[in-house]
Amino acid sequence: MTLLTATKVKHYFGGLCAVADFNLQLQSGELMGIIGPNGAGKTTIFNLITGVYRASEGSIRLRDVELVGKTPHQITALRVGRTFQNIRLFRDLSVLDNVRIAHYAQVHYSPLEALLHIGRYRREEQRIIDNSHRLLSIFKLEHLAGETAKNLPYGSQRRLEIARALAIDPELLLLDEPAAGMNPNEIDQLMEFIQWIRQEFKLTILLIEHQMKLVMGICERIMVLDFGQTLSEGPPTVIQNDPKVLEAYLGEGSIG
């Protein structure tokens, strides 16, 4: 079943065409990678899907729901979670609060109940706090729950960002360069980890990555972007041998 469908999506920043003609059909449960040189429009596509930008033209659908025109918090409430290329934690909040806040869309109590601490408020708040602790222990961050996010080492911040994205209870998870700044050993662990959360949380994953080892290692399908255009699309083995892709990455004339 198709979870995400993008049709003829175009996006301009002023006169600059960042995304020229983006088409995608992402199947439920699939793990797909988007690669391409810097400035190819990869992160812009994530921003279009999550509503940070509104697509200039075209349609993006989650199942039957049109996402173009919806606000980011509405799209998040439809169970789309994401991480960011540059870590975007709430630096002054505690590790626990960073995860708690991502449950916001799941809150179903009235302001009155919240004010008086009755009814659903207590039950839901308890569930949210329990779930936050559960996610933190999965990501080996439980002992840091009370720590301010900005004090965490880089690797832990990366893990916290994924934990926070999972707190949204996503069906579709968008990972923006999850392996940025990691060494080969850490990348191996990350690959296993992505596979594991995919199973555990029943996720459909779309990821942007420059680390070929990770993309080729775990993605079932890869899309190559350049200058907002789709250069190539297919399974890793096809992409690896596509001359157009090599040219875009290594420069014209580099393949003899």
Partner 1 sequence: MSEGIIYWLQQTLNALQLGSIYALIALGYTMVYGILTMINFAHGDVFMVGAFFCFLAAVYLGLPFVPTLLLTMLGAALVGVMIERLAYKPLRNAPRVSAIITALGVGIFLENFTLALAPYPKNIPALLANATWNMGGVSISSLQIIIILLSLGLMFVLDYVVYRTPVGIAMRAISWDKTYVPLMGVPLDLIISVTFAIGAGLAGAAGTMYGLAYPVIDPYMGIMVGWKAFISAVVGGIGNIRGAMIGAFILGGVEIMVAAFFPSTYRDFVAFTLLMLLIVIRPYGILGQPRTQKV
Helix 154-167 and helix 120-138, axial crossing angle in degrees, nearest 10: 140
Binding mask 169-188 for partner 1 (x = CB under 8 A): --------------------
95 CB-near residues (< 8 Å, 6+ apart): 136, 141, 144, 145, 146, 147, 148, 149, 152, 160
Contact residue for partner 1 among 54, 91, 108, 143 (CB under 8 A):
91
Q: Using an 8 Å Cβ cutoff, are 223 and 34 in contact? A: yes
Nearer to partner 1 by C-beta: 25 or 71?
71
Using the rule CB under 8 A, is 100 a contact of partner 1?
yes
Using the rule CB under 8 A, is 72 a contact of partner 1?
yes
Using the rule CB under 8 A, is 90 a contact of partner 1?
yes
Site for partner 1 in 114-133 (CB under 8 A): 114, 125, 128
Nearer to partner 1 by C-beta: 83 or 204?
83
Using the rule CB under 8 A, is 102 a contact of partner 1?
yes
| Shortest CB 13 distance to partner 1, Å | 15
191 CB-near residues (< 8 Å, 6+ apart): 213, 214, 217, 218
What is 114-144 written as a DSSP string?
Answer: HHHT-THHHHHHHHHHHHHHHHHHHTT-GGG
Q: Which of 80, 81, 59, 77 is nearest to 68 (CA)?
A: 59
Maximum C-alpha span of the chain: 73
Nearer to partner 1 by C-beta: 102 or 219?
102
Q: What does the alpha-carbon distance between residue 158 and residue 168 come to, in Å, rounded to a whole number?
A: 16
Using the rule CB under 8 A, is 227 a contact of partner 1?
no
Using the rule CB under 8 A, is 107 a contact of partner 1?
yes
Q: Which residues bind partner 1 (CB under 8 A)?
A: 50-52, 71-73, 76-77, 82, 84, 86, 88, 90-93, 97, 100-107, 114, 125, 128, 164, 168
